[in-house]
Structure 1
Amino acid sequence: MSGGAKLKKKNYINQIRELLVMITDNEDFFSIPTNVNILYSGFDSMKAVRLIMALEQKYRFQIDADDFVPSKINTIDNINEIILHYIYKMNLEENNSD
């Protein structure tokens, strides 16, 4: 391999979509653009709590209360960034504990 391999940042958009459909029973989440505000009647605060709990369980991290605010969970892109942030943070902590 010449020039080295580029690391591709994994995204969790499909998993987020699946969880949103499962939680809301609204298949529109499979096709909604990732930058569109999803906080509407089909995705209320109780469903947001369920989504965050599902993400925490699935990816084995705990989201800080400061990150559980409408401005940070209002789009699929923002939710993806939260996952990336916490997985990166978790990996750093694991590497530092070795």
Structure 2
Amino acid sequence: MGELSGWHWLIVIGVFVLLFGARKLPDAARSLGRSTRILKAELRADDAAPSPVTPPAPVQPQDTVQVTPQVTAPAAAPASSQPAPQTAAGPATDPARTDAT
């Protein structure tokens, strides 16, 4: 029951002819044969000349110089001897002052 008899093969071939047409079957078979030959040639080329694999070179520790960033304080705004100007909306606010008056 597992084998295909002659009648089974005729039915399978007939279905292929009906599905793909008699004109396209030779082209499909030719294309399949070319693809198979190319695949076999590529597999043989890969087996015949394996690519050399070289291990990576060991990393040697080197003397390193650590650089610490120098942080400088922002320059202080010069103190003004003049009072803050008054506007129509009210007194000017000084962002440096924290007390509310």
TM-score by length of 1: 0.26
More helix by share: 1
Question: Normalization by structure 2: what TM-score?
Answer: 0.25
Higher-Rg structure is: 2
